[in-house]
Amino acid sequence: MSAAPHQHRLAVGIDLGTTNSIVATVRNGIAVVLQDEVGRSLLPSIVRYKADGGVDVGYAAQGTQASDPRNTIVSAKRFMGRGLKDVSHIESMPYDFLDAEGMVRLRTVAGVKSPVEVSAEILKSLRIRAEASLGGELVGAVITVPAYFDDAQRQATKDAAKLAGLNVLRLLNEPTAAAIAYGLDNAAEGVYAVFDLGGGTFDISILKLSRGVFEVLATNGDATLGGDDFDQRVYCWILDDAKIRFPSIEDTRRLLLKAREAKEMLTSHDVAPIHVGLGTGEQVDLTLKIDTFADITRTLISKTLGPARKALRDAGLTVNDVKGVVMVGGATRMPQVQRAVAEYFKQEPLTNLDPEKVVALGAAMQANVLAGNRAGADDWLLLDVIPLSLGMETMGGLTEKVIPRNSTIPIAKAQEFTTFKDGQTAMSFHVVQGERELVSDCRSLAKFELRGIPPMVAGAARIRVTFQVDADGLLAVSAREMTSGVEASIMVKPSYGLTDGEIAGMLKESIDHVGDDVQARNLREQQVEAERLVEAVEAALAADGRLLRASERADIDEEIASLKMRIAGSDHRAIKAGIDSLNAATQDFAARRMDQGIKRALTGQKIVEFKI
C-alpha cells in the first residue's frame, strides 16, 4: 500500500502554539522544520489587522504589539472555544472584546474577528510557507493541540485549519507528537513522561512505548498555565518595584515584552537588566536577579506537580516506573522548571531535543504516515486518550459520566434513559465535560432535543444515547428512541464556555469538594425523587380521585403539602421521610386503581414505581 517515491504525497505537521507556531514535513525520510524565506523556523503567533484590510502575520506583526495593541492579536490560542466570561485577566488585555454565541470575538479596525479566524491567518501563513517550500499543494496536515484541550477547543482548532484551506488529517495531542519524535529518534522502550509547558498551556502525559506502539496511559494538565504566566509575574514585579500605578495599554505591552526578555535572559544568566522608556516619559531601570525570579514564580512551578501526580496515579504507576522525562515547550528551558522536574521524577529530564520544535517534528512524522506515505520502517501505532470525562445532565442538575477520562480513543458508549412523565413526546439532552458531580461545575458542550417520541406511559420509552469519540478526540452524540426508532443526533459544537479558571481547576475542584458534592447530590436526589412522587400522585388524583373517600383524600393532600414544604428545605433525610410517608398514605389508593384494571398501573406496584 505504500506509495512509490515519485508519488510522495505532500503533508505537514503544524504546531499551532500560543506564542510561536511551526510547520514541519518529512523530506527523504527525515523530519525537518520548514523555514521562511530568510531562514527563520518559528512564526510568532501574532496577527495584525490593518485599516486597509491587509493582514500581517508573524514577525511582520511583532513590531506593532506596543504601538497598535488593539489590532495586533497575540496568544489567540487562549481564546479558542472560549466565551467572554471564560478569559482570565481580560481587564489587562488591550483588545476590544465582544461577547458572542459560543466564542468571544475581537473588534478590530478591519472588522469583528473570531479567535478561529485569527488562528486561521497563522495557519494560512504556514500553509503558504509549506507549499512554496515543497513546491506543490498539500494533501493534508496534522495540527497539534494541547492534550488537555476540551472538545470545544479542539473543534475550534479544526475549524481554524479548515478556514485556512487545510485538510486536517488528524488533531494530535502535543505531548504525544513529542513522544513520537523522541521515541523514534532514540528507539525508546518503556514508560516515559512528557512534560510540556508551552506559552499558555501545560500538559503532562504518561506513555508506554513498546515495539512501535505509543500508548498513552494517562494525561493531565492545566489549560491556563504557561510561559505567559511567568511573564505576567515579572510584569507585576516591575510595576511594584518601579511604583507604576496605571500603565497605558501601550506601556503594558512594552513592559510585558521586557518581562519576557528578562525571563529568557535568566535561562543562561544570573541577572537580567530591565530598561524601558514609558509613554509618560518615565524611565524604568531595574535588575531582576535569578533568585528573585525563582521566588516570584515558585507557585507557578508547583502548579505543574499536581497534574503530574494525578496522571501517574491514573496510569497506575509511580515515579519509579518512569524511565525518562521528555521536556517540551519553550518554558521548560527555565532552570527552575528543570530542577523541579528532576526533583519530582528523581532523575534528570531529557533535554537533548529542541523543546520548541519537537512537537512539530512529531506531527510531521505522523502526517507523513497518515497521508499514505508509509514506508517499511513507519509501522508505528498511536493509541491516545481523552483528557476529561464526558457525560450527560440527569435529573436535578447532576452529571452522569458516560465516558471516563483517560479512555483510549476511538471509543463509543451508550446509555439508556427513559421518560418520566406520561405521554412525554420530547426529551432534552445536555452534554457536558469535566470531573465534577454537578452539571453547573462542568463545561457545557451542547444541548439538543429528541422529538417525536410516541406518547407512552412514563418509563416505557427507551431512549438510547450514544457517545462516539473519534481519533481526533472529537465527540458526536446521537439519541434514539428504541421502540419507535425516532432518532436525533448532533456533532457536538461548543455551546457556551466556562471560566478559564474553571477548566484549569476542574479536576482540582472535583477533589476539593468531594464532600460538598456528596451532600448536594443526596439532597438533589431526594428532591428529584420527591418531585416525581408528588407529580405522579397528583396525576393519579386527577384521574381517579373519585376512588377516595373525602377523609382519605384529605390525608393524602396533607401528605403532599408536607412533602412539598420539605422539598423546598435542604434536609435530605426529612425529604426521604416525607416520601415514605406519602407512599404509605397512597398504598390503598394505588391498590384500588389497579383493581379497577387501569391499564397504566403495573401489577403489584405502588404509584411511585410506575414513573421512572
Q: Give dist(CA 431, CA 415) in Å, integer.
A: 13
Q: Give dist(CA 362, CA 58) in Å, integer.
A: 22
In the bound state with other proteins, the residue whose beta carbon lies nearer, of 187 and 381, is 381
**Which set of grid coordinates corresponds to residue 188?**
525508546
Q: Which of 34, 169, 534, 563 binds other proteins (CB under 8 A)?
A: 169
Interaction between residue 370 and other proteins (CB under 8 A): yes
**CA dihedral for 432, 442, 86, 98, sign (positive or negative):** positive
By CB under 8 A, which span of 20-28, 465-473, 478-486, 522-530 interacts with other proteins?
465-473
Q: Give dist(CA 520, CA 522) in Å, integer.
A: 6
Interaction between residue 348 and other proteins (CB under 8 A): no
Q: Give dist(CA 68, CA 54) in Å, integer.
A: 14
Interaction between residue 27 and other proteins (CB under 8 A): no
Q: Which of 27, 85, 480, 508 binds other proteins (CB under 8 A)?
A: 508
Is residue 579 a contact partner of residue 533, using CB atoms and an 8 Å limit? Answer: yes
**CA dihedral for 468, 471, 472, 473, sign (positive or negative):** positive
Interaction between residue 412 and other proteins (CB under 8 A): yes
Interaction between residue 263 and other proteins (CB under 8 A): no
Interaction between residue 382 and other proteins (CB under 8 A): yes
Q: Which of 270, 487, 512, 558 binds other proteins (CB under 8 A)?
A: 512
In the bound state with other proteins, the residue whose beta carbon lies nearer, of 143 and 370, is 370
In the bound state with other proteins, the residue whose beta carbon lies nearer, of 9 and 70, is 9
Interaction between residue 459 and other proteins (CB under 8 A): no
Nearest to 17 by CA among 114, 90, 122, 103: 122
Among the options 56, 68, 77, 310, which is catalytic? 77
By CB under 8 A, which span of 76-84, 363-371, 496-504, 534-542 interacts with other proteins?
363-371
In the bound state with other proteins, the residue whose beta carbon lies nearer, of 336 and 468, is 468
The string of DSSP codes covering 328-358 is: ESGGGGSHHHHHHHHHHHTS--B--S-TTTH
Among the options 15, 150, 159, 229, which is catalytic? 15
Interaction between residue 598 and other proteins (CB under 8 A): no
Is residue 180 a contact partner of residue 192, using CB atoms and an 8 Å limit? Answer: no
Q: Give dist(CA 475, CA 429) in Å, integer.
A: 14
Q: Give dist(CA 487, CA 464) in Å, integer.
A: 9
Interaction between residue 470 and other proteins (CB under 8 A): yes
In the bound state with other proteins, the residue whose beta carbon lies nearer, of 371 and 456, is 371
* Burial (CB count within 10 angstroms: exposed 0-12, middle 13-18, buried 19+), residue 388: buried
x/- track of binding to other proteins for residues 182-221 (CB under 8 A): -----------------------------x-x--------
Interaction between residue 465 and other proteins (CB under 8 A): no
Q: How far is the CB of 383 from other proteins (least distance, A)?
A: 7
**CA dihedral for 184, 188, 190, 191, sign (positive or negative):** negative
* Burial (CB count within 10 angstroms: exposed 0-12, middle 13-18, buried 19+), residue 359: buried
Q: Which of 170, 254, 436, 611 binds other proteins (CB under 8 A)?
A: 170
Interaction between residue 137 and other proteins (CB under 8 A): no
In the bound state with other proteins, the residue whose beta carbon lies nearer, of 70 and 309, is 309
Q: Could you confirm whether 15 is annotated as catalytic?
A: yes
Task: Say if strands 271-277 and 283-289 run parallel, antiparallel, or are unpaired.
Answer: antiparallel
By CB under 8 A, which span of 173-181, 362-370, 577-585, 600-608 interacts with other proteins?
362-370
* Burial (CB count within 10 angstroms: exposed 0-12, middle 13-18, buried 19+), residue 535: middle
**# chain residues binding other proteins, by CB under 8 A:** 33
Identify the three-state secondary structure at position 327. Answer: strand
Q: Which of 269, 313, 346, 564 binds other proteins (CB under 8 A)?
A: 313
Q: Give dist(CA 193, CA 172) in Å, integer.
A: 17
Q: Which of 84, 271, 471, 591 binds other proteins (CB under 8 A)?
A: 471
Cis omega (within 30 of 0) on the bond before 44? no
Q: How far is the CB of 101 from other proteins (least distance, A)?
A: 29
Q: Give dist(CA 267, CA 289) in Å, integer.
A: 11
By CB under 8 A, which span of 60-68, 83-91, 318-326, 402-410 interacts with other proteins?
402-410
In the bound state with other proteins, the residue whose beta carbon lies nearer, of 288 and 370, is 370
Residue type, position 63, single letter: G
Identify the three-state secondary structure at position 320. Answer: helix
Q: How far is the CB of 169 from other proteins (least distance, A)?
A: 5
**Which stretch of DSSP H or E encloses residue 239?**
helix 227-241
**408 DSSP 8-state letter:** B
Interaction between residue 379 and other proteins (CB under 8 A): yes
Is residue 13 a contact partner of residue 141, using CB atoms and an 8 Å limit? Answer: yes
Interaction between residue 371 and other proteins (CB under 8 A): yes
Among the options 56, 196, 422, 441, which is catalytic? 196
Q: Give dist(CA 264, CA 234) in Å, integer.
A: 11
Q: Could you confirm whether 77 is annotated as catalytic?
A: yes
Q: Which of 32, 139, 286, 486 binds other proteins (CB under 8 A)?
A: 139
CA 450 distance to own-chain centroid: 26
In the bound state with other proteins, the residue whose beta carbon lies nearer, of 215 and 241, is 215
Q: Give dist(CA 409, CA 470) in Å, integer.
A: 6
Q: Which of 110, 278, 351, 372 binds other proteins (CB under 8 A)?
A: 372
Q: Which of 310, 524, 532, 606 binds other proteins (CB under 8 A)?
A: 310
Give the footprint of other proteins on this chain (CB under 8 A): 9, 139-140, 169-170, 211, 213, 306, 309-310, 313, 366, 369-372, 379, 381-383, 407-412, 468, 470-471, 508, 511-512, 514
Question: Any idea which residues carry the catalytic annotation?
Answer: 15, 77, 174, 196
